[in-house]
Amino acid sequence: MIIILCLVIIKSIVLDDFKYLETRTVPITCAAAVAAKRSNRPVKLTLSREVDMTITGGRHAFLAKYDASAIVKQGSIVKLCSVDVKLYNNGGSAADLSGPVMDRALLHLDNCYFWPKFQAVGMPCKTAQAPHTAFRGFGGPQGLATCEHIIEHLAIECNMYPEDIRQQNLYQEHDATPFGMIMDEGNAGHWNVPKMWDKICSELQVSTKRKEIIEFNSKNKLIKRGMTVIPTKFGIAFTAKFMNQGGALVHLYTDGTGNVYKMKYLMKFNPL
């Protein structure tokens, strides 16, 4: 059995426009609204990039401390045994969406793997920075990255390829996640990840490419190649219940006709 104690810090500097779809528009729109009311004229408030980046905050940095274990069996089989993770995120000087972001990180901390013993605790932290807010993924990428860091660490300690540990520990039909979701058609829908994993590894000839990479790296001192295959599952909706909303505007006309305009909360994901 391999026991590991370690920590990983995750900080992304990639910026996007997702934060403006959530709550960080409020200070700017309020300032423009007050000026428009007092002057009785339209007001446009445009921030410089430096001011914008300083006051609106960014993606939450996460600190993860974990204990993880795996059982090494005969035949190069490694089965995940347990994981205990404490997550901390940098919420900045105000809560904003730090709580729901932490919730999503916790709900994605298992990624696609079955952990027989799983425990995770999250703590948003108040710091002397601008309030950090939602970015693309809403905490999911931080949870997934933490999980994959643990898998990589276990692979090193077990002298295994990470892809082998991933494949051997994928959720199977009727397995349950730590938060109680059953991976079957009657509950969570079709669980296609194991089939897709086998198909991708076969079509991309992962084993052959791995041997070619090892041979290339042994012959080249300065230039190195690498390869990885990582599965991902991503949950929908939010633990911040007010974000899971929809609505409809209904117009009824005197001639008996009508129009229905549907509205729903925007969830945008960039295609690969």
Q: Would you say residue 15 has pLDDT above 80?
A: no
The verdict on pTM exceeding 0.85 is: no
pLDDT (tens digit per residue) in 115-150? 999 999 999 999 988 888 888 888 899 999 999 999
- Distance from C-alpha of 115 to C-alpha of 79, rounded to nearest angstrom: 9
Token pair for 235: 């949950």
pLDDT 10s digits, 186-202: 777 788 899 999 999 99
CA distance 48 to 18: 18
Average pLDDT, the chain: 83
Hunting for tokens 């391999």 — which residue is that?
A: 2
| Residue-wise pLDDT tens digits, 69-112 | 999 888 788 999 999 999 999 998 888 888 999 999 999 999 99
Domain layout of the chain by residue ranges: 2-264
Give whichever of 16-20, 27-31, 167-171 has the largest mean pLDDT.
167-171
CB 62 within 8 A of CB 142: yes
The residue type found at 136 is: R
Pairing of strands 62-73, 2-10: antiparallel
pLDDT greater than 60 at residue 37: yes
* One-letter amino acid of 194: P
Tell me the CATH number for domain 2-264. 3.30.365.10
